[in-house]
Amino acid sequence: MLNGRTELSVREEKEIESIINLIGEPLLKNKLSDIYLSKTPKFRKEILKEQIKNLNQELEMLELNEND
């Protein structure tokens, strides 16, 4: 779909999302959604922020357990 471009048009993004939403198998649908979102710059930033948040929470829990 990109044909040498680095970004998708809004129409292309909606088309991809529609195709993914047609898939009935949850595992496949979730994996395709993850791949799509990881390749979309505006969502990549949000995914990274969420991962950082989760890692910070995990680190806090580990540090609390060390002090016990």
Q: Is residue 53 part of a domain?
A: yes
The terminus-to-terminus CA distance of the chain in angstroms comes to: 54
Which range marks the domain in which residue 49 is found?
10-66
Q: Is residue 3 part of a domain?
A: no
Would the pTM of this model clear 0.85, i.e. be above it?
no
Largest Cα–Cα distance in the chain?
A: 56
SS (H, E, C) 1-62: CCCCCCCCCHHHHHHHHHHHHHCCCHHHHHHHHHHHHHHCHHHHHHHHHHHHHHHHHHHHHH
Q: Is residue 5 part of a domain?
A: no
Count the domains in the chain: 1
Q: Is residue 38 part of a domain?
A: yes
pLDDT, tens digit only, all 68 positions of the chain: 556 666 778 898 889 889 999 999 999 998 998 888 777 777 777 778 888 999 999 999 999 998 76
Q: Is residue 2 part of a domain?
A: no
